[in-house]
Structure 1
């Protein structure tokens, strides 16, 4: 997505400048409004935050700031602030101790912003590629309530859960991915080298070949003669799909399809809803109003389809509907979750119930991820068996027919 340079004013009227990534200027304006600032000017920026004055080589060599870096930053800030260390000294110590040069630059820019009179949340908002709008909004609430160190600790646990879920899914998908890649390479080698060798042998027999053998030879001939075109089509399709998925419509459609994928769709949906519930509980416990909290949470669920549902919930609450009624209208929550929302709304402990919903979804995600390989392995075995059967029939049927002819003679 493109970057936009913006000028805005906060609640005190101070002018804030920065760069924000977004689908368009309207999306950036919505993000700024949700963060409690009023945009004055928004223009397309050719460079992202932190890239000004850098050459192409410097940008290529720049170290990437990972979620682990942000997680460690949150934990260390909590420890330092709880010990009574001033923010400027804490940032200075972290800047000296970090081994990530990109993080050093971010912390240096943050310190300079604090020197110029900005709040910590406003300083970190200048780096949206590192600190999400949800992260910044939580810090802004912590500054307003005097619970900044507690917010850093809650954000650390939130980021830790996010990383743990991603690592579990990656670990579960590692073996199936390896098998699929190996099968693809094997098919290409067989089409390019093995089948052509057998085709030369069969051609000398001057006999009619079985249908399966003719299909394999035809596919092999096509691959041998047109493999550059096939590679070009695959690469072009990959770039076209990637470009489409970067558009708002494309991303929304893909996020909607992901939730309906076999085997992994339910995991993605439950992980997304767990992220929503945990984020909502964190925002509510930190003192963020429900409507504003839903607006912020919609930006961090990492799924445009679910985000649209959360926005619908926010609009319903603004109209005076209950959280339960708006949750039912979305059609994405299970009856158990809806019952918990109803109890939480009646007792005034919606944050505690949302936390329990998050933990329930997290347990289900952990269980399904642990059994993901067991679900995928039979599919891979069946696919590999079908591939071997097709190759065996195509390669050995002619040999079998020739053997029977020789026996009859």
Structure 2
């Protein structure tokens, strides 16, 4: 069990915080939500309070911002800023305290740099506008918008919660696919052992009798001598072609190809659309203009295919066209999302429409992953059983014939 720190809101709107023991961050999140808490943010508790002075960033006022943070690091920084905003501590002091708690040197350096700039008299908005690529565009944009409306803590809690939901969705689906992959690898290992070891022993015994082998036995030995190597060669060629296409065509076209695969393609598309819709919803809820929200979401999600579509939609909306009309021509956008967007445009509740879309496609992705996990293992077992019967029939038919002829 590990210890995690959390902040959350009660059903009465009261901001609370504390520590909880759980097996993982997702487990801690589930326990807190089961208590009826909202806007939950969970972080790892540091193993040792503080850190050695020579292993911490300098506290002096740096003039240049630190290197750009990764999406995961930016999410952690946003969580710390949300906690500082919720506790109503002075911003600079709260950021320095958060820097002492985090286990990431890069996040600590970013927090200390922002604290230095604030202590020098610069506003948070001005600091982030001159921070270069320190934070992803959607995080910077949300902080700037929320600072103007006085809802910084609430906005960052929503952003972190959205990213935790997205990570949980990825973990759940990958876990189901990993189970299927392990089943296939184990089946391949067992069949290879049978063909290369068991079949060899019986083959030598049959050859000693110098008799004509049945067709099924000849087919089995041909598969042992040439078929497995041929199948491996075909798999190697296909893998090489896939790698070459990924390198030459680029990530966007590669993701577009993956999304066209049966069953698996719709799973990946549902995950990407759920991530995108959730991020757009959070950005719109805090009064970021639609074109800017679409651009920020396009740069902020992991799928470059859906991200490029979001950037194209942003350009169209900026020219005065309706978002729902633009979405009709985009194959990356599921048709079932368009009526939701049309409803949001009519009722002026686009943020709510995208939130519903995130929930809908998130549940759809989980259901598809569960379907794959439920259907593929039995199919693999049936396939393995058929192959085992073929091997046994091929090996023991000539032995049965020998007994009958004797």
What TM-score comes out, normalization by structure 1 length? Answer: 0.70
Show the counterpart of 1:115: 116
**What CA distance in whole angstroms lies between the structure 2 residues aligned with 1:112 and 1:75?**
17
**What CA distance in whole angstroms lies between the structure 1 residues aligned with 2:378 and 2:127?**
55
Asked whether the equivalents of residues 283 and 293 of structure 2 are also in contact (C-alpha less than 8 Å), the reply is: yes
**What CA distance in whole angstroms lies between the structure 2 residues aligned with 1:234 and 1:93?**
54
Distance 1:234 1:134, change over 3 A: farther
How far residue 143 of structure 1 moved from its aligned partner, in angstroms, is: 4.1
Show the counterpart of 1:89: 93
C-alpha distance after superposition, 1:68-113 (max 9, x if no partner): x6655433431222212233322322222233xxx12332244236
Show the counterpart of 1:359: 359
How far residue 334 of structure 1 moved from its aligned partner, in angstroms, is: 4.8
Note if 1:148 corresponds to 2:149: no
Root-mean-square deviation (CA, aligned residues, Å) is 3.3
Note if 1:396 corresponds to 2:362: no
Asked whether the equivalents of residues 121 and 139 of structure 1 are also in contact (C-alpha less than 8 Å), the reply is: no
How far residue 335 of structure 1 moved from its aligned partner, in angstroms, is: 5.0
Show the counterpart of 1:105: 106
Show the counterpart of 1:10: none
Aligned ranges for residues 9-408 of structure 1 at < 5 Å?
Answer: 67=72, 71=75, 73-99=77-103, 103-112=104-113, 115=116, 119-120=127-128, 123=131, 125-126=133-134, 132-222=136-226, 241-242=242-243, 244-246=245-247, 249-406=249-406
For 1:254, what is the secondary structure of its paired residue? helix
How far residue 326 of structure 1 moved from its aligned partner, in angstroms, is: 0.5
How far residue 381 of structure 1 moved from its aligned partner, in angstroms, is: 2.4
Any stretches of 5+ residues in structure 2 without a counterpart?
A: 1-68
How far residue 164 of structure 1 moved from its aligned partner, in angstroms, is: 1.4
Distance 1:388 1:320, change over 3 A: same
**What CA distance in whole angstroms lies between the structure 1 residues aligned with 2:247 and 2:299?**
16
User: Which deviates more, 135-144 or 89-98?
Assistant: 135-144
For 1:298, what is the secondary structure of its paired residue? helix
**What CA distance in whole angstroms lies between the structure 2 residues aligned with 1:181 and 1:396?**
26
How far residue 153 of structure 1 moved from its aligned partner, in angstroms, is: 0.5
Any stretches of 5+ residues in structure 1 without a counterpart?
A: 1-63
Show the counterpart of 2:35: none
For 1:292, what is the secondary structure of its paired residue? helix
**What CA distance in whole angstroms lies between the structure 2 residues aligned with 1:200 and 1:316?**
72
How far residue 136 of structure 1 moved from its aligned partner, in angstroms, is: 3.5
What TM-score comes out, normalization by structure 2 length? Answer: 0.70
Asked whether the equivalents of residues 110 and 120 of structure 1 are also in contact (C-alpha less than 8 Å), the reply is: no
Asked whether the equivalents of residues 279 and 297 of structure 1 are also in contact (C-alpha less than 8 Å), the reply is: yes
Show the counterpart of 1:45: none
Task: Work out the number of aligned pairs and report it.
Answer: 331
Asked whether the equivalents of residues 244 and 251 of structure 1 are also in contact (C-alpha less than 8 Å), the reply is: no
